[in-house]
A and B are shown apart, each in its own frame.
Chain A
Amino acid sequence: MALIAWWAPLLWIAAAAAVIGAVAWYRRRHRVTGGIPVAHRERLTALPSYRRAMSRYRLLVAGFALCLVALVTGGAVLTARPATVSLVTPDLNNRDIVLCLDVSGSMIDYDAVVLEVFQELATEFTGERISLVVFNASAVTYFPLTTDYDYISRQLERLSEEFDDPAAPYYGGTLIGNGSSLVGDGLASCVVRFDQGTADRSRSVIMVTDNFVAGEQIFTLPQAAQLAADRGIRVYGINPGDAAAKDYLADLANEFETSVLATGGAYYALDDPSVIPAVVDQITSEQASILPGQPRVQVIEQPQPWVWLSFAGLVGLSVFGWRLKR
């Protein structure tokens, strides 16, 4: 517990002292004019009903004074702005994640699992921004970086359903271009999806592809990876095709792995979609360990008890004041 405006109570004390002093001075000055001088007040004060009335009056005055003290104390403390000060290490809350899905025919099953996992994760996220980009010959932003998790869930769900339906237009806009699975272009597109270039956020791309390129690319995968590395973006590669031990695929997988590792990310080769949840967990937790965030002092004002004290004092003041008036 700390006071932001620690000097405020001093002002209150000074003000209270001034008021008390003024009242005392006024009373002493006006005592001279006095009133009616009488003697032997015990004729009245010894009466039982006088004593009763007097003790009741004293009780009311005491209550009034107590409430006044509560109100002034509450007010004084409130103006001093009590707050709790703590060192916080903001962790994964300022992450931006772009899901970069290769939607060529062979990848759909894996994409679906990734979507499922992120659908679940979306319910736990606080502050992370997710974007989804699908690419084949060209990249399409399915939705941009957003924290609207309801929207994200709905979009992911919709895309999952479209994956199950061969007639659905999930690949709409992804076939413009010369070839298919232009992975380098896809990654480059994903990399430029990040906004707020200067903001202090961790940026990562989760890229699901087999790196089986057919066609003319503008960016090769290593070039795109270099682009990502230049912008401080980590690329996590999930390659379902790596397991098949074909030489030409091995080269592609190799290229994918080295590119991804060059950005500081990680590479996962797998042939079973059921492993993907564990992989995503691993990615997010790995990020957590990598990005503890800048520790900073967090000051949270704690006015509640004092507000209640002041309020109770005010209520008591009016009640006792009303009783005293009668």
Chain B
Amino acid sequence: MDSLLRRVRTKLSIHAHRKVRGLIEGEYRSVFHGRSMDFDDLRPYVPGDEFKDIDWKATARHGSPLTKRYIASRKHTLMLVVDTGRDMAALAESGESKRDLAILAAGTAGYIAIRHGDQVGLVTGTAESTRYMAPELTESHLERMLQRIHASTTLSSDPSNLSRQLDYVARTFRRRMIVMVIADDRQLTSDEQRLVRRLAVQHEILWLTIGDADLMREEWAGRAMYDVADSAALPKFLRDDSTLRAEYASSVTQTATTTEEFFESVTISSRRITSGAAVVPGLFRLLEAHKHARR
């Protein structure tokens, strides 16, 4: 198995020991709540499974909890929508590359989905072009997808424009699927908000935001900093100003709240993660939030 997926799995096993990992799988399973009633088979209960899915009679016979599996819950499609524009090659809030966090998040989600028997597809792209990898069920396919994210997200890539990819998803896929958008702290324009609102009707949307670098971070104040979009430098002397720092911090909080409120208003589960260590727990919280959101 290639390196990227192994890294994801290592991360998964380090950061989430067995129990949590099972929890995540359970949470993932319950993302779709519109189930078919076609019973398929039984499998051991894992934490996170809906209690009402437990087959109590079979459990009583078997001695350990068993959960009913339905046909409809088996073949879903997880469509990963990842921005691979230049913006994603910049640093995340923790100082890691946003691309690495995106790969970790996409890999974790994809791995769980495949383990669950679901197909995973990928939509990547920039402001210039959008690329699509059809859903498949193999780990090698997931690895190829992660490699694509890795290879196409560089500082010399085309600029980012996630609305291109969102538009593509909205226009292309008729069948309902789980769409997991991996984006950064970009502000959605009103057009994009309309697009997202439409997508939320078509699909199950999970929105994972990778927090952008703290521009006023104190230990970076002495170093040069530039915006990857146009290579414009951010002057050092301003990044060391304490009043500006306070204003920036409150502005960031304000923006995060606004974004969260928007996603809530369109019934999309969203989560903002800031570091590699926060990817697995963040994903778990995202899935959990989605389960509990009764729509």
Contact = CB atoms under 8 A, between A and B. Distances in A.
Interface stretch (A50-58, A100-108, A232-240, A264-272): A50-58
Contact of B244 (A35, A40, A53, A57): A53
A198 interface: no
Interface residues of B, number: 40
Most chain B Cβ neighbours within 10 Å, of A39, A40, A42: A39
Given A38-B227, A57-B235, A49 B243 contact: yes
Interface stretch (B9-17, B41-49, B210-218, B277-285): B210-218
B87 interface: yes
A197 interface: no
Nearest to B217: A36
A325 B234 CA distance: 17
A47 B224 contact: no
A44 interface: yes
A37 B234 CA distance: 10
A166 interface: no
Given A41-B232, A47-B251, A36 B244 contact: no
B91 interface: yes
A44 B234 contact: yes
A236 B241 CA distance: 89
A54 B90 contact: no
A296 to B, nearest CB: 59
B255 interface: yes
Interface string B86-98: 1111110000001
Interface string A128-172: 000000000000000000000000000000000000000000000
Contact of A36 (B216, B225, B232): B225
Interface string A197-240: 00000000000000000000000000000000000000000000
A47 B215 CA distance: 12
A43 B87 contact: no
Contacts of B155: 37
A34 interface: yes
Nearest to A324: B237
B220 interface: yes
B151 interface: no
B239 to A, nearest CB: 8
Of all A-B residue pairs in the complex, the 8 with the closest CB atoms, nearest first, are A35-B224, A39-B90, A39-B87, A41-B227, A36-B225, A44-B215, A38-B213, A37-B90
Interface of B: 86-91, 98, 155, 160, 184-187, 212-213, 215-216, 220, 223-229, 231-235, 237-238, 241, 243-244, 247-248, 251-252, 255
Given A44-B215, A44-B244, A50-B244, 7 more contacts: A36-B213, A36-B224, A43-B215, A43-B251, A44-B234, A49-B241, A50-B238
10 contacts: A31-B231, A34-B224, A36-B213, A37-B226, A38-B225, A39-B228, A40-B187, A43-B248, A47-B247, A49-B244
